[in-house]
Chain A
Amino acid sequence: MKTARIILFYLAAALAAAVCGVLFGATRIPLSEFVQDGALNPIAELRIVRTASAAVVGASLAVSGLVFQAVLRNSLAEPFLLGVSGGSGLGAACAIILGFSAWGFMSVPLFALLGAVAANLLVFAAVRRRSAEELLLGGVMIGTLASSMLMVLITFSHSHDMAGVIWWMLGSVQTVDPSRQLAPASVLLAASLVYLFVRAGDIDLLTFGPEYAWNHGVNARTMTVLLLALASLLAAVTVSMAGIIGFCGLVVPHIVRRLHGGSHRKILIPAALAGAAFLMLADILGRVVSPVRELPVGMVTAAVGCPVFLWLLNRSRAGS
């Protein structure tokens, strides 16, 4: 299939998911009531923000996962490998349990972002040689350390704080602030897409390993660090918006790569659009299946993603 056709297909899927995201939910809004007295229906407005948030978070996670998988040359790589999930969880728990959430609505996302970025920087600082493999191992170590510290905090917390941390860690796009969270995340996503599109040839070469990339004119070490840092930043920003949403960044890029193969110039935009569509649909499912108390979107992606992940795991074992 030609690249333009592939992009059009995923664009149509993402647009269809976006329309469904605005139309469906606990309350049905007839089309005639979308605009009342020249103003947008407040529920419709909330759903537009929520659907857009799901799209940006899903696209960011898919793009981040695509980069991680290409640079680490591992189809099971995902966006939270460099300590992002452990760091953000610890940051959010600090905000909730230590009482910083009283500073305002943005304190939990801000602490989560700080925790994720701090864990990420610690990985880059602690790993001396900074090859992809060593960064990965460093990320697992720092992530584990952060998760242990999170467990210590949870152990000494009150039950309602504990519930808040766990709810946050399950992931949700319900409470994203459009101007302070959605807008900057959209700008970061757009800028990342442009940069990665321009550098797609370098990413292709990195999939053959750092020595091959070097022999074809890519400064492999610098590019590896840059790409992993950018992918981690994308993941960190999504975590600060919507908590830890698993599987989207693992499964979506793998499926797009498997279906369309070829250059990253060809699959970058489809992966972003597929990620957006996947998370919008997961969010709709969470609202429709349990309208009274919605299922967190992270739970839905896990329910869908887990069997796919196991299938991938078994396939890669059979392949090796």
Chain B
Amino acid sequence: MKLTAEQLVYTHPEAHEPLLNGISLEIAPGRISALLGRNGSGKSTLVRLLSGFLNPDSGSVMLDGRPVSAWTPSERVRRLAVVQQHVPVPLTDYTVRETVAMGLTGVSRLSGRLSPEQSDRLERTLAMLDLAGLADRPCGSLSGGERQRVFTAAALVRSPGLLLLDEPTSAADPAVTRKIVSLLRTLAPEVGILIVTHDLQLALDCAGFAMLLHDGRIAAAGDPADVLTPETLEPVYGCPFRRFDCGGRPVILPE
């Protein structure tokens, strides 16, 4: 199972210049990829193009050899799950269990009841993200980090082959970030993962491949240790960086 993008060009409806200009990438099981770039560089837009929610001006997004838009919605989401950065607060305050159950496919449309296998998978996913204790709480009463975990669980509950996460740890505390990183590492051999993040350290620690988005193009791509260097980061972010070793582990910080 893999997701490939070829020469994607996308211009925002209210803009004249393309936001993304000739982006190509591949996401396949066995590897965690990280996508980094400044605010407004088009990272979330790229995720929307990869998921098929937006259509590119030119170029293609292929999911398992077929254009992503050619799959039926239920076939697509069985293969590809997306955790978006900001999820609007719904009018109805669903519980954590209800919200995660919405991620399941093939639920009976008439009864809304889950099969024993689906219930089992739901409980396992809740436990996997430390949500079992919160399962009956309304989502409206949760913190930002807890809500983020709920939406991650709703994406993971259908065991997708490919997972796109747009800033999955932006509202998480260090312990939860560690937990999510460990979970992604566990999933990586079976699942192709793309993480959009501003956290350079997360990309260094967790990803096997990094892409730096700048001026609508991939400015650098490759091993995170080679891509996330002061020389490549400074022109992108416009500030100096310092990289040093901390017990054999590379650490990079803005100066």
Contact surface of A with B, Cβ cutoff 8 Å:
69-70, 73-75, 197-201, 204-205, 207-212, 214-219, 257, 261-265
A-B contact pairs, 30 of them (CB 8 A): A70-B91, A73-B91, A75-B91, A197-B110, A200-B112, A201-B102, A201-B107, A204-B92, A204-B102, A205-B102, A209-B87, A209-B88, A210-B53, A211-B48, A211-B53, A212-B84, A212-B87, A214-B51, A214-B52, A214-B53, A216-B77, A216-B102, A216-B154, A217-B74, A217-B105, A261-B138, A263-B92, A263-B94, A263-B98, A265-B112
B109 touches A216 (CB 8 A): no
**CB-defined contacts of A265 to chain B, threshold 8 Å:** 112
Contact surface of B with A, Cβ cutoff 8 Å:
48, 51-53, 73-74, 76-77, 81-82, 84, 87-88, 90-95, 98, 102-103, 105, 107, 109-110, 112, 138, 154-155
**Of A201, A208, A209, most B-chain CB atoms within 10 Å:** A208
Cα distance A50–B217 when bound, in Å? 67
Top 6 A-B pairs ranked by shortest CB distance? A207-B90, A217-B77, A217-B73, A215-B82, A209-B88, A214-B53
**CB-defined contacts of B107 to chain A, threshold 8 Å:** 201
Chain B contact residues, majority secondary structure: loop
B109 touches A201 (CB 8 A): yes
- Also in contact, A198 and B110, with CB within 8 A (given A215-B77, A215-B155): yes
- Also in contact, A215 and B109, with CB within 8 A (given A73-B91, A204-B92): no
Cβ distance B27 to chain A, nearest Cβ, rounded Å:
15
B84 touches A211 (CB 8 A): yes
B94 touches A204 (CB 8 A): yes
- Also in contact, A212 and B110, with CB within 8 A (given A201-B102, A217-B77, A263-B94): no
A257 touches B53 (CB 8 A): no
B91 touches A218 (CB 8 A): no
- Nearest-neighbor residue (CB-CB) of A214 within chain B: B53
Cα distance A200–B84 when bound, in Å? 22
Cβ distance A117 to chain B, nearest Cβ, rounded Å:
27
**CB-defined contacts of B98 to chain A, threshold 8 Å:** 204, 262-263
Cβ distance A228 to chain B, nearest Cβ, rounded Å:
15
Cβ distance A311 to chain B, nearest Cβ, rounded Å:
17
B73 touches A219 (CB 8 A): yes
- Also in contact, A208 and B90, with CB within 8 A (given A198-B109, A201-B112, A265-B112): yes
Cα distance A74–B154 when bound, in Å? 24
- Nearest-neighbor residue (CB-CB) of A221 within chain B: B53
Taking A209-B88, A257-B92, A262-B95 as given, write out 15 further A-B residue pairs in contact, using a Cβ cutoff of 8 Å, ordered by the A residue number: A70-B92, A73-B90, A198-B109, A200-B109, A200-B112, A211-B48, A211-B53, A212-B84, A214-B53, A214-B73, A215-B84, A217-B74, A219-B73, A261-B138, A263-B112
Cβ distance B30 to chain A, nearest Cβ, rounded Å:
23
Cα distance A261–B74 when bound, in Å? 26
**Of A73, A200, A261, most B-chain CB atoms within 10 Å:** A261
**CB-defined contacts of B53 to chain A, threshold 8 Å:** 210-211, 214-215
B76 touches A217 (CB 8 A): yes
- Also in contact, A73 and B88, with CB within 8 A (given A219-B73, A261-B93, A261-B94): yes
Cβ distance B213 to chain A, nearest Cβ, rounded Å:
20
Cα distance A261–B92 when bound, in Å? 6
Cβ distance B172 to chain A, nearest Cβ, rounded Å:
19
- Nearest-neighbor residue (CB-CB) of B13 within chain A: A129
Cβ distance A14 to chain B, nearest Cβ, rounded Å:
23
- Contact partner of B73 among A75, A210, A218, CB < 8 A? A218
Cα distance A23–B143 when bound, in Å? 53
- Nearest-neighbor residue (CB-CB) of A265 within chain B: B112
Cβ distance B91 to chain A, nearest Cβ, rounded Å:
5
Cα distance A218–B93 when bound, in Å? 20
Cα distance A216–B102 when bound, in Å? 8
Cα distance A73–B51 when bound, in Å? 23
B84 touches A207 (CB 8 A): no
**CB-defined contacts of A214 to chain B, threshold 8 Å:** 51-53, 73
- Contact partner of B88 among A208, A261, A264, CB < 8 A? A208
Cα distance A265–B77 when bound, in Å? 22
Cβ distance A185 to chain B, nearest Cβ, rounded Å:
25
- Nearest-neighbor residue (CB-CB) of A198 within chain B: B109
**CB-defined contacts of B77 to chain A, threshold 8 Å:** 215-217
B92 touches A262 (CB 8 A): yes
